[in-house]
Amino acid sequence: YYNHDTVVYLNRKMVKATEANGNLYSQTLQYGYGVFEGIRSYATEHGPSIFKAKEHYERLKKSCDLIHIQLDYSVEELVEASYKVLAQNNLQDAYLRPVVYLDPNMSLSKPTGVNLLITAWEWGAYLGDKMLNLCTSPYQRPNPKSVHVEAKVTGHYINSILATVHAKENGYDEALLLDAAGFVAEGPGANLFMEKDGKLFTPALGNILPGITRATVLEMCAELGLRCEEKQFTPEELKTADSAFYCGTAAEIIGIAQLDNYRFPLDWSESLGKKLQEHYSKLVRQPQPELVSNEQ
Ligand code: PMP
């Protein structure tokens, strides 16, 4: 993720990664009380273009608001800082990881001080490019009555780690998590879509992270005239679907071959997922409008 030349953005300054230090008494280290984002940039003829940068930083700010972290940065400042991190590290196709972490504080109280770090590195397809074999996880997504599931909180990712390790130790590529009521929720780091009789379905908001890629897929469906509905469905219903895929910033769009012992019957090359995958890979490589207008 970093070497001796890597620079990071830390509290409004560019500093060497090897010289940037955190504090062991941080509330984030002690309690998992922090917020983060995962963002991708793509090489374009106008230089690196950060896909949906504004949407990601809006979600970062919203996540902070939901858990009482006061983040005094505007979306514009955060986007600008992100481009600076890419430029100073000579990165084009890259993954950006902003994290909001807190000052030393051992009490279960609101933060005493807030820090913002943005790192970036080159990162290939997070779930690879092969169709995935999933297992229904024994770990549920966190109950929305216990935490704010719609916030991208550092501590929530213990749930994602447990589900992923369990899936891999049992010979699967990835997990599928259900919500507290037993409906299909999402993957450890991706949202799910299924295709049935030429129509797409994705779990409704409420028990999942509102993915930026999920929202992009919904936009692409509208644009391409594909039918798509947000609703609750059970794992049993999912096991009658023709095809399914995961989507996320890191994973992009990736087909699912099998869930437990159910193989999705529709060939990926014929699926709506494949059509969306191709469209997405073009869309992310179109320079964002601010890049094009900056050069004029
Ligand atoms: N669900 C979870 C639990 C995630 O961690 C992610 C990755 N941020 C997603 C869904 C997909 O979200 P996005 O498309 O915004 O990356």
Range scoring the smallest mean pLDDT among 111-120, 201-210, 281-290: 281-290
Mean local confidence (pLDDT), 53-58? 98
> Which one is catalytic: 152, 168, 274, 275?
152
Domains of the chain, each with CATH number or no CATH: 7-121 (3.30.470.10), 132-283 (3.20.10.10)
pLDDT-above-90 percentage for the chain: 94
pLDDT, position 129: 78
**What value does the mean pLDDT of the chain take?**
96
pTM exceeding the 0.80 threshold for the entire prediction: yes
Q: Is 190's C-beta closer than 6 angstroms to any atom of ligand 1?
A: yes
Q: Quick one: CA dihedral 248, 279, 52, 58, positive or negative?
A: negative
pLDDT, tens digit (0-9, with 9 covering 90-100), for 125-178: 777 779 999 999 999 999 999 999 999 999 999 999 999 999 999 999 999 999
Q: How confident is the model at residue 180 (pLDDT cuts 50, 70, 90)?
A: very high
Distance 209 CA to ligand 1 centre (A): 6
- Most informative mutation of 213, 217, 220, 280 for ligand 1 (most atoms within 8 A of CB): 213
- Most informative mutation of 148, 158, 209 for ligand 1 (most atoms within 8 A of CB): 209
Q: Is 191's C-beta closer than 6 angstroms to any atom of ligand 1?
A: yes
Active site includes 152? yes
pLDDT, tens digit (0-9, with 9 covering 90-100), for 215-252: 999 999 999 999 999 999 999 999 999 999 999 999 99
pLDDT, position 181: 96
Residue 296 has pLDDT above 70, yes or no: no
pLDDT-above-70 percentage for the chain: 99
Q: Is 189's C-beta closer than 6 angstroms to any atom of ligand 1?
A: yes
Residue 295 has pLDDT above 70, yes or no: no
CA distance 36 to 46: 27
pLDDT, position 126: 72
pLDDT, position 291: 80
Q: How confident is the model at residue 294 (pLDDT cuts 50, 70, 90)?
A: low
